[in-house]
Chain A
Amino acid sequence: MTTRFFRAILAPAAMLSVAACAELDVANPNNPDIARALASPADVAKIAKSSVNTWFLASTYPEPYLMLQVTADAATANFGNFGMRFNNLEPRVAYNNNSAGGDAAATVRPWDDNFGALGAANDALRALASGIVIPGADGNAKTRAAGLFAQAGAMTNLALIFDRAFVVTEATDLAAAPSLVPYTVVRDSALKKWDELITLTQGKTWSWDGDVMPLSVPATAANINRIANTMAARTLMLSARTGTENAATNWARVLSYADKGITGTGLADINFGVIGDGVNVWYSELVGYGNLDNWTRVDQRLINRMAPNVPAKYAGTNVAPITTDLRLGTANLPCTGAGQPNACLTGVTTDFVYLATVIGDPARGIFMQSPYYHRRWRDVSYAVPDAAQSGRFIPYVIAAENDLMIAEALVRSNGDLGRAATLVNKTRVTRGGLAPVAANSAALLAAISYERDVELLNTNGLALFDARRLEQLQAGTFRQLPIPAKELETLALPIYTFGGP
């Protein structure tokens, strides 16, 4: 018996000696290996396509855009989320550039997300430059267009938001640490990339694959070209930090871009927006929260422009609007009680609605409250279940923005004022029911500013970009954001900020 068991013991010992070497090179089957992906044409194409999604989400995230709309007195809220509360204080305080604190994400998010989009786009463009061939007709051109789109778009965002940034492209050697450059240089780099995209798509007949970006129009080279022109015009026009810089903007160049943009070409106008997929990968959180009645409201400064009887600052009394602008209306009051404001909004179709209720703690500042609500994009906001947003149009740059850019560029570059008036009236008269604007510069500039305030709220969060160049900001409001403290800590640079007395 002992011998038998002795053998039995030897057997596992023998097994163990066979098992003496475990597999130590374990694969990671969960994520694509970088080297393998960059050698795979399909993967390179997907990296470029994905970077467009990263850019779009970064461009429509509540951080910083809800904060920027609030501090520009377009929207209002007193909740601490997204940096809305403390940058809505009056008098204005400096942006709290601290790597802790509730407002940190207001800069970290746009900084990191745009550099994330840039990083991925650069990888794809570098792979293309090194000779990878993407299968299918115009595979390389379509992929390059996607990479360029994200690259140019990310640089546009960085140029509009931050005082300084890094310019990193597919040609940048990351082994040598890049240096920070002022926003004007970032803007010019963005324009260069939009120009490359415009050249690449000029006269071409290919279309993007369906998984690049679910545009609300066919993703043809021609439409991409028009969107690129509009984006270039915005980049140039909105990057001005002051009235002086605004006056110095190359308006002829703005006009030249905008004229080839999503409107103004003589072709049918198009919107630049996406078809939502039910808050999966294509959605806009700016729209989602900006049109959510219990999160944000419309600043009465803007309402006052439409209904002068409403004070420009809320003082605790709800004032119903008296207005001729068809875009402002009143809910089926009262809107109080359970299940509201769904019931009181039934049948209401105006963009702006007087709800006669306010939200938030008045102790934080009554001026932060407002009984007015932006309803225009409610059906793609978090006021409806995520799934209900599926298949609906989500705005980013609507046709009116391009029309108003052309109009403003015409006025500021001594162009055709009659044409400018026609463009302004497209929304002013057709949607607003207001009297046509007179074809003189002063009237036009006022009407353009009005239309931009009313039409473009909660599309792409440009309110601060407009307000700073038109000198409409309250004293002490920052005109741009500092590099986030988290990044400055990483770079071992001193922390700084903007805004405040």
Chain B
Amino acid sequence: MVSAQSTMRTLRFAAGIVLLLSPIAAASAQSTVIRGTVTQLGSSAPIPATVAIQAMGLVAVASDQGRYTLQVPEGRARGQTVQLTARFIGYTPVTKTITLTAEPQTVNFELKSDPFRLTEVVTTGTADGQAANKLPFSVAVVNGDKLRDVPASSPIAALAGKVAGARIALGTGNPGATPAIRLRGSTSLGVGGSSPLIIVDGVITRFSLADIDAQDIESIEVLKGAAASAFYGSDAANGVLSIMTKRGKDLKDGQTRVSVRSEFGSSSVGNFVPLNEFHNFQLNADGSINQTPTGARPLDGIIADNVYPTSGDSRYRNQLKEWLGTGQFYSSNVQVGFRKGGTNLNSSFTTDHNAGVLPFRSGQFRQSARVNADQQISSKIDFGTSITYSLNQNDYDPTDSQGWFALLQAPPDISLTRPNGPTDPVEFNPVLPSWAANGRGNPLYGLKNSSLAVRRERLLGSANVRYKPTDWLRVEGSYGTDRSNTGNQAYNPKGFLNAGGLATDGSLGLNNGINVAENIQANVIASKIFFGDLKSTTRATYLLEKQSLDSVAASGSQFTVLGVPDLDAIDPLNNRVGSSNTSRNAQNYFISQAFDFKDKYVADFLVRRDASSLFGSATRWASFYRMSGSWRWNEDIKLPGIQEGRLRVSRGTAGLRPGFFDQYETYSVSQGLITKNQLGNPNLKPATQTENEYGLNVTFLDRFDAELVYADRKTEDAFLNIPLSLAQSGGFVTQVQNAATVGAQTWEFSLQSRLYDGKNVSYSAGVTGDRTRQQIDRLGRAPFRVNAGGQSQNVFFYKEGEALGIIYGKQWMRSLDQVTAQGLDVNLYTLNSDGYVVRKSEINTNAEKPIAVVTGGSDQTVIGDVNPDFSFGFTQNLRIKNLSVYALIDGVKGGDIYNFTKQWMYQDGRHGTQGQGSRPEGDRRPLAWYSGGLYDGLNANSHFVENGGYARLRELSVAYQFTPNLLRKIGISGLAQGFKLSVVGRNLLTWTDYTGFDPEATSGGDFNFRIDGFRYPNFRTFTAMVDVSF
């Protein structure tokens, strides 16, 4: 058992190591020299490659002319045979076996271009790194150069459209919101339970990814499911994202590189929800709306086809276009890289701002600073450390939707600035005039007069030591920590008006959180070649994880004095407090064994034992495994035009851990009162996914690299928060159980191509696509409806044997055949101009309403499925001399969205569909047909199920590189690297039939809940960017 003391000792040791980070120069004395050149095979162009004798820890970097000089310290050249390897990004490394003597020698290399980086080493999920072209399971690698042209708001956003099988969407556009991501299929029936494990420079992160600056990323490796992620055990059924940040390792000895990038522009809403431009109130002779002395508006018929006045205070306004403006967007990033001898470091600083599109709120401000440093201490020991600090501040909660409900339903004929007429004494008065039927209040009053300060400080740090006592054995120790300190303040000043327009004495809410996650890891890695051809790599790892979340919240209402946002100024009778304190521990062991025979046959095995305090007390330990193999068949069966071919099969298991509260058999206590809420489950086990993955990789015609993968997964013991019968449970409302089995089958395809690569022109393109089917194979209870939380309706349905992601409700009849099929008298029904079956006796009256299909005595049936037929991404890079264009289009085909916003807007007559003034007179439908009939009391029905397919120009960059030569010509000197000027667009265009703001709508960060309910919509940004390097 770990005592606090021993943990402290461990931490102190890690701190001690940091102090040792004094730049110790690489040993240099009388030495032997190896010299040579590195050039491109065929063209003989020089390559500034790295040349190294890895077993001895000796490294040299070739000059721009391709020349290198490697010093072998005196006494270390003893006539032994060593391997000298030259490698450079984008080329296949070449290894030569040489005999080290005291005499200088010359070794030249010719490297072959590797445009698809197939020989680059993938580290995530492997025993000790494996070349991409030998991997027996899928690891998608997104390198920094794919992220460079359009810097993403977060590492997840950066992956959109670039990785087959990864679905990424910004469910809401709130500045600072983290996008939702799902790799392949769902693993849980909980809402938002599909987030992968995220590792940054070896640190298991637990808190918001919105703090990680995507501009620091060197590469991202993506493990999509258990076939690959078994390595990460009980926390990895959703896959793993491993992010490596820039470390300055690619710099030449003695080089310092400074790059500065600044981007500035603005954001605005691209697509607007259609609004009703017509009404059915009586008009005066002058075209104004008739209003009685008591403030009522008599109706003029039942059809909304009268036009609003075009001028004056009660003229028609599109309140969305009136109030959703452009917001400022900027980002500045400085990177300083340095490398000398055995020391390399990279530091960066970023400040950015995303204002969003809502009035009166400034959105997110973020600053982050990072230092990564590596120091080779001796030929056997090296040390690395990474520290990131970030500060994230926001005046609009990234998860909130304040203002949207009221703004979407605001009457069009009032000024929200002075809603009760030009003489309204209260600016943005929260009370709308009484004739503003069903007024939802004034969205602007709160946005203007209440204040919110959301603040999060984040520290990510890691230190690791590697020791190589011999050339086949390595011992590693690492410590990583993720810390997040949060503080929020919500303040309504004394005098703040409530919804009824009454002055309150104000309120103040404060909460603070201190969240700490730590992990300590030790690895022993042995790698040796047997029988000349069989390389064996064995790794044994121990991993300890600790996490604690502490928070305190205090709030109060009724300030006794003006202008003091302090709880001491609150009437003590009206103070409320609360706190929470949770901790989680885990320890894990695993052994991984990889064999590589003749560079052709690779086999990989893994067993892992995990224990977590989150598992129920009855089951503290769980086991996971992986077995996989790959065959580079092109080495055995040479086919013309094929450069690389690989078949692979992998089977692995990985788990998910329950939530903190799920196991404890407790009452709930709040405000000093004891109630029954969640029933604890001491028998909770991890959910376990078993995934079989089959892959085929082919590189052909020297220009194309294709991958086809089929993955079949089953997540057993999946978590389900089961609604209980309170009578039978003794008053408990829900219980989390290992109740379900969720299956998913995914096809993934990707094709990367470098179609042309000339001196002046190059063109490359990539396509990714995937199709996932997922279903509930077992559900440990009767079918039931689920809610994604927030401003949404429980239109979704969990039922054994059905797809996961079905929408359930009333299917309205659209043909008279359905009337006959239901055994109704077809003579009593007709089709209305919207194409729905209605009763003849009700058509053109206020009672006109649609008719639901009834099957088996029930009018509830499957009316939609959120799962798209397939998802796709398409990237293109075109360079003509100094001009380059990059574009990413991604999207989904099919898949339904439930437009709950539209349904609710129907209630108030605000939706564009309800305005009838533009239709032929005979086609106009009564307002009540929409606001009563189709609205149907917010019951789920087929009218609001819309095709959610879309294609989106997500990223676009047009850049011009001003070379030093060009600059000299126009009289600018001193910029050795020149600079790049680009115009950048994000989400610029969206092609979709969906009628809401944005088809990326998801609720609760979960793709199974594609429901649109008054959320902050995605917006587009358009910026100019300058990149300068020194």
Residues in A lying within 8 Å of B, measured CB to CB: 1-2, 5-6, 8-9, 11-13, 15-16, 18-26, 28-35, 37, 43, 46-47, 49-50, 53-54, 79-80, 85-86, 96, 98-103, 111-112, 115-120, 122-123, 165-166, 168, 174, 177-178, 211, 278, 280-281, 292-294, 316, 318, 334, 336-339, 342, 356-364, 371, 382-387, 390, 486-487, 489-492, 495
The digit string for B402-438, where 1 denotes a CB below 8 A from any CB of A, is 0000000000000000001000111001010110011
Chain B interface (Cβ within 8 Å of chain A)? 1-2, 6-7, 9-10, 13-14, 17, 280, 293-299, 302, 377-378, 380-381, 420, 424-426, 429, 431, 433-434, 437-438, 465, 467, 469, 475, 477, 498, 500-502, 504-505, 520, 522, 542, 544-546, 557-558, 571, 573-574, 576, 580-587, 611-613, 617, 620, 660-661, 664-669, 671-676, 680, 723-733, 781-785, 793-795, 808-809, 846, 858, 860, 907-909, 927-928, 931-932, 937-940
Known: A100-B793, A101-B938. A26 touches B584 (CB 8 A): yes
Between A and B, 22 residue pairs with Cβ closer than 8 Å are A1-B378, A5-B378, A8-B17, A20-B587, A22-B2, A22-B585, A24-B620, A30-B581, A34-B666, A86-B937, A103-B937, A115-B726, A120-B674, A178-B727, A281-B673, A337-B295, A357-B294, A357-B296, A357-B434, A364-B928, A371-B294, A390-B573
User: By the criterion CB–CB under 8 Å, are A15 and B377 in contact?
Assistant: no
User: Is B665 a contact partner of A489 (Cβ separation < 8 A)?
Assistant: no
Q: Are B438 and A385 touching (Cβ within 8 A)?
A: no
Contact assessment for A28 and B661 in the assembled complex, using a CB-CB cutoff below 8 Å = yes
| CB-based contact B782/A278 at 8 Å | no
Q: Which residue of B lies closest to A19 (CB)?
A: B2
Which residues of B have CB within 8 Å of A21?
1-2, 587
Bound CA span A486–B725, Å: 9
The answer to whether B571 touches A387, judged by C-beta atoms less than 8 angstroms apart, is yes
In the complex, which residues of chain A have a beta carbon less than 8 angstroms from the beta carbon of B724? 490
A18, A86, A122: most-surrounded residue (chain B CB, <10 A): A18
Instruction: Kindly provide the distance from the CB of B931 to the nearest chain A CB, expressed in whole angstroms.
Output: 6
Closest residue on chain A to residue B670 by CB atoms: A281
Please name all residues of chain B whose beta carbon is closer than 8 Å to the beta carbon of A119 when the two chains form the complex.
676, 726, 729-732
Besides the known contacts A22-B587, A363-B928, 15 further A-B residue pairs in the complex with CB atoms under 8 A apart: A9-B467, A16-B522, A18-B9, A24-B611, A31-B668, A33-B666, A37-B674, A98-B939, A100-B795, A101-B940, A115-B731, A122-B730, A338-B425, A338-B501, A342-B500
Shortest A138–chain B CB gap in Å is: 21
Residues A13 and B522 in contact in the complex (CB < 8 Å), given A2-B378, A120-B675, A385-B502: yes
Partner of B437, one of A8, A174, A334, A361: A361
Q: Which residues of B contact A495 (CB under 8 A)?
A: 858
Q: Nearest Cβ in chain A — how far from B639, in angstroms? A: 49
Known contacts A54-B675, A336-B294, A357-B294; decide if A32 and B667 are in contact (CB<8 Å). yes
Contact residues in B for A15 (Cβ distance below 8 Å): 6, 9-10, 13
CB distance from A286 to the nearest CB of B (A): 18
Residues of A within 8 A of B2 (CB): 18-23
Residues of A contacting B908 in the complex (Cβ-Cβ under 8 angstroms):
361
Q: Are B938 and A99 in contact (CB under 8 A)?
A: no
The residue in chain A whose Cβ has the minimal distance to the Cβ of B723 is A490
A174, B580: Cα distance in complex, Å: 32
Report how far A371 CA is from B437 CA in the complex, Å.
15
Set of chain B residues within 8 Å of A23, measured between Cβ atoms:
1-2, 585, 613
Cα(A292)–Cα(B499), bound, Å: 11
| A177 x B728 contact (CB < 8 A) | yes
Contact B380 A386 (CB under 8 A): no
A37 to chain B, nearest CB (A): 6
- Is the CB–CB distance between A336 and B295 below 8 Å? yes
A-B residue pairs, 3 tightest by C-beta: A119-B731, A115-B726, A31-B666
Chain B positions within 8 Å of A338 at CB level:
420, 424-426, 429, 431, 501
B584 partner residues in chain A, CB cutoff 8 A: 26
CA distance A225 to B950 in the complex (A): 67
Q: Nearest-CB distance from B295 to chain A (Å)?
A: 4
Measured CA separation A360–B858 after assembly (Å)? 33
> Of B294, B420, B469, B782, which one neighbours A6 at CB under 8 angstroms?
B469
| Interfacial chain B residues near A18, Cβ < 8 Å | 2, 6, 9
Contact yes or no, A486 B785, CB < 8 A = yes
Contact between A101 and B727, CB atoms less than 8 A apart = no
Q: Which of A100, A334, A337, A385 has the most CB of B within 10 A?
A: A100
Instruction: Find out whether the CB atom of A12 lies under 8 angstroms from the CB atom of B10.
Output: yes
Q: With a 10 A CB-CB cut-off, give which of B294, B465, B477 has the most chain A CB atoms.
A: B294
Distance between B232 CB and nearest chain A CB, rounded to angstroms = 17
Q: Which residue of B lies closest to A29 (CB)?
A: B581
Across the two chains, which residue of chain A brings its CB closest to B10?
A15
- A19-B7, A31-B664, A363-B928 are known contacts. Are A79 and B438 too (CB-CB below 8 A)? yes
Which residue of B380, B672, B726, B932 has the most chain A CB atoms within 10 A of its CB atom? B726
Q: Are A281 and B671 in contact (CB under 8 A)?
A: yes
Whether the pair A363, B280 counts as a contact (CB closer than 8 A) is yes
With known contacts A5-B381, A33-B664, A490-B723, A50–B795 Cβ distance under 8 A: no
Inter-chain contacts of A98 with B (CB < 8 A): 860, 939
- In the complex, A101 Cα to B809 Cα: how many Å? 9
Shortest Cβ gap from B362 to chain A (Å): 29
- The smallest C-beta distance from B432 to any residue of chain A, in angstroms, reads 10
Cross-chain contact A115 with B727 (CB below 8 angstroms) = yes
